[in-house]
Amino acid sequence: MKRPPFTPTIAALPKLVPFVGPETMARSRGRPFRARLGANESSFGPSPRAVEAMRAAADQNWKYSDPENYELRTAIAAFHNVAIEHVVVGEGIDGLLGLTCMLFLSPGEGAVTTEGAYPTFNFHVQAHGGRLLMVPMRELREDLPALRDAAAGTGARMLYVSNPNSPMGTHWDAAHLNAFIASLPDGVMLLLDEAYCDTAPPGTVPAIDAGNPQVIRYRTFSKAYGLAGARIGYAIAARDVIEAFDKVRNHYGINRVGQIGALAALQDQEYLRHAVGSIDAARNRISAIARDCGLVPLQSAASFVAIDCGGDGNFAKRVLDELLARDVFARKPVVSNLDRFIRVSCGVDADIDIFAAELPKALETARRG
């Protein structure tokens, strides 16, 4: 018996475990974490109205979801003041990024991104046989002019920007982004990942121009809306781009309970404001805890704080390992110009209390080497 070969693209890829999740880590450690502050989820949770809607939907889960996501798309379209034909719903931004590669990237073609930026885009590019072109961050921000020049100079098909970005939480304001969008070279699609836009300061998010043929805006219910497990995201783009998503998307891929929960969450903007306030308070608290320990937190527009541990990458790794050993799940960037940071997600006070208690001990042990 002989199986067919993998496609050349897949055969050429190294064995890959993209994300080691906290569940995997807990299994290998033999015990759970006490504070889950590593995956940029929101432990403040979703709107109680969303919870109630999902509870009520549970026993109807024998039904497939509406493959057109009609009610959710209608609500999203109204929320952003665009026509429903400009909206596609997907399995989180992650799923939509993969579909976007299917639409625009043939094997061998280029996709520009920032070194150390959100890696899921990279996995999708590689799985589609694309060529990744990396631009380093500049002063801990995505370097918009250099990203544009890289796209222009290489004929790349796609350019990925997250604003605010992960893993640093830094951002550009709308004026800079609009100038950047206006300067895009022809033939490139800007994938603007706005996963963290809800927690960004006013003036960060450019007005949506759904007719712009070169921009796709990505949003998610995973972050401030507190529904990471529901796996619901959406994209807003020109009509022909949204129509093309219908050629490749998994029409029954959206889970029904998540679809209903996301709709209820969107309709409860008062709760969203409350959650954003809680995230902001946690951000301030994490920053204060870092400062109390002599570390330097970055000003963050996202739902996490990147903390400069004040040494090199090895030292930050030791700090992170000590936190993990003390049952605090956090993460750190790995690329060389960002690896002196650890990244701590905002969360409920009980979790931040544990972080506050454990960070000084983790640092002390890390400093002893």
Q: What is the contact surface with ligand PLP in residues (CB under 6 A)?
A: 40, 92-94, 118, 162, 166, 193, 195, 220, 222, 228, 233
| Closer Cβ to ligand PLP, 233 or 297, answer by number | 233
Nearest distance from C-beta of residue 159 to ligand PLP, angstroms: 15
Minimum Å gap between C-beta 148 and ligand PLP is: 19
- Smallest separation, CB 196 to ligand PLP (Å): 7
How far apart CA 14 and CA 25 sit, in angstroms, is 22
Looking at beta carbons only, is 306 or 366 nearer to ligand PLP? 306
> Measured from the CB atom, is 83 or 228 closer to ligand PLP?
228
Q: How far is the CB of 122 from ligand PLP (least distance, A)?
A: 12
Q: Amino acid identity, residue 174?
A: A
Q: How far is the CB of 22 from ligand PLP (least distance, A)?
A: 13
Q: Residue 162 or 300: which CB sits closer to ligand PLP?
A: 162
Cβ-proximal residue to ligand PLP, closest one: 92
Note the Cα 168 to chain centre separation in Å.
12
Question: Which residues does 139 contact at the CB level (< 8 Å), separation at least 6?
Answer: none
CB of 228 to ligand PLP, least distance (A): 6
Three-class SS string for the chain?
Answer: CCCCCCCHHHHHCCCCCCCCCHHHHHHHHCCCCCEECCCCCCCCCCCHHHHHHHHHHHCCCCCCCCCCCHHHHHHHHHHHCCCHHHEEEECHHHHHHHHHHHHHCCCCCEEEEECCCCCHHHHHHHHCCCEEEEECCECCECCHHHHHHHHHHHCCCEEEEECCCCCCCCCCCHHHHHHHHHCCCCCCEEEEECCCHHHCCCCCCCCCCCCCCCEEEEEECCCCCCCHHHCCEEEECCHHHHHHHHHHCCCCCCCHHHHHHHHHHHCCHHHHHHHHHHHHHHHHHHHHHHHHCCCEECCCCCCEEEEECCCCHHHHHHHHHHHHHCCEECECCCCCCCCCEEEEECCCHHHHHHHHHHHHHHHHHHHHC
Least Cβ distance, residue 290 to ligand PLP (angstroms): 20
| Closest alpha carbon to 221 in 171, 179, 261, 177 | 261
Nearer to ligand PLP, 109 or 193 (CB): 193
Least Cβ distance, residue 264 to ligand PLP (angstroms): 17
Q: Which is nearer to ligand PLP, 226 or 233 (CB)?
A: 233
How far, in Å, CA of 120 to CA of 98, rounded?
A: 9
Residue nearer to ligand PLP on the CB measure, 21 or 294? 21
Q: Rounded to the nearest whole angstrom, what is the least distance from the CB of residue 145 to ligand PLP in the complex?
A: 21
CB of 102 to ligand PLP, least distance (A): 16
Taking the least distance from each CB to ligand PLP, the nearer of 94 and 358 is 94
Nearest to 257 by CA among 59, 89, 84, 77: 59
**Residue closer to ligand PLP, measured from CB, 57 or 117:** 117
66 CB-near residues (< 8 Å, 6+ apart): 256, 259
Nearer to ligand PLP, 94 or 198 (CB): 94
